[in-house]
Amino acid sequence: MITVKRVRLTQTDNTVFLQAWELYGDAFPEEERRELDLQKQIINHANYHFDIVIVDEVFSGFILWWQFEGLRYIEHLATPIEYRGRGYGKTVVEQLISESHDDIILEVELPDCDSSKRRIDFYERLGFKLNTIDYKQLPMRKNGISPEMFLMTYPDELTAVKLSFFKKSFKRICYAPYFE
């Protein structure tokens, strides 16, 4: 049996961060990623978790997430191509679910290509619900765009109250201090 563990990073000046940062650049389009200077500012935020995934002492991906009151927001999850399909991502998300009774929310691209559809299917198999309400992600970089996305939630569908709480929490904690 494999052992999948997460290790929280709080600094950007080490080799494993650089491995994760390279994967981050490869796995997500520019408009959905932070610039390195902004990442350096938030990595020590108490609510932010830059967790690398280690399997058998080898870097095998990352999950970047935020803790709000009663809600966890998964911002990014990725594994290198050579480790995909081995269940590492599934295990990491299941760990996050089992650690807390908090609801979980995440953003996914609109299902307009095979990779987006596979990503949605992946989360649905883990019990997430697809919420097809109009939603735009706040820009992840200065002068960035706001891509249209869907939200997925666990364990239940999104309510108007939860959506409002998420938007306010994200803007206040994750966004405003860095963009205003």
Q: What is the secondary structure of 30-61 as a DSSP string?
A: GGGS--HHHHHHHTT-TTEEEEEEEETTEEEE
Say which range, 34-43, 64-73, 88-97, 137-146, has the weakest mean pLDDT: 137-146
Cβ neighbours of 161 (radius 10 Å): 8
CATH number at residue 81: 3.40.630.30
- Residue 121 belongs to domain spanning: 4-178
Per the structure, the count of domains in the chain is 1
What CA–CA distance (Å, rounded) separates 58 from 61? 9
- What are 153-162's pLDDT values in tens digits? 999 999 999 9
Question: What DSSP state is assigned to residue 139?
Answer: P
Residue 180 has pLDDT above 70, yes or no: no
- What are 75-122's pLDDT values in tens digits? 999 999 999 999 999 999 999 999 999 999 999 999 999 999 999 999
Per-residue pLDDT band for 142 (boundaries 50, 70, 90) equals confident
- What are 47-58's pLDDT values in tens digits? 999 999 999 999
CB 163, CB 133: distance < 8 Å: yes
As to burial, measured by CB atoms within 10 angstroms (0-12 exposed, 13-18 middle, 19+ buried), residue 114 is: exposed
- Compute φ and ψ for 92, nearest 5 degrees: -65, -45
